[in-house]
Amino acid sequence: MSDKRLSKLAALKTRATVFAALGDETRLTVLAKLLSGEPQSIARLTEGTHLTRQAVTKHLHVLESAGVVRSSRAGREALYELQPRSIEDARAYLDRIAQQWDDALNRLKLFVER
């Protein structure tokens, strides 16, 4: 496979993973805490939730493997940061699909009403 094809396939997988990663209420709760744009520690992200640190860590890993968040280290602590680009990409993809359906349905309308 060429690089281009590989990257297309990777993009497909990534999008599916982003949609799946966002399809969970707990992960959305974690994500909501990252919307300020500030990198935050697992401790901070666990605060004020009924979740365990382990659960938050697990959900952060799912979000990270989908490219929705990025982690970095500050000393011994891992910090997590939102990657808005991944969400925008997934949205742009759905917009393209929606546009294709608009075009197809308009052709159907013309075809039937002519």
CA atoms within 13 A on the CB side of 96: 6
SS3 of the chain: helix, strand, coil, percent, to 5: 70, 10, 20
Q: Which of residues 16-35 bind another protein (CB under 8 A)?
A: 16-17, 19-26, 28, 31-32, 35
Between 76 and 96, CB nearer to another protein: 96
Residues in the chain: 114
Neighbours of 16 (CB within 10 A): 12
Which 3 state secondary structure label does DSSP give 9? helix
Q: Which of residues 64-103 bind another protein (CB under 8 A)?
A: 82, 84, 87-88, 90-91, 93-94, 96-98, 100-102
Backbone angles phi, psi at 59, to 5 degrees: -65, -35
Between 74 and 112, CB nearer to another protein: 112
Binding site for another protein (CB under 8 A): 1-2, 5, 8-9, 12-13, 15-17, 19-26, 28, 31-32, 35-37, 58-59, 61-62, 82, 84, 87-88, 90-91, 93-94, 96-98, 100-102, 104-113
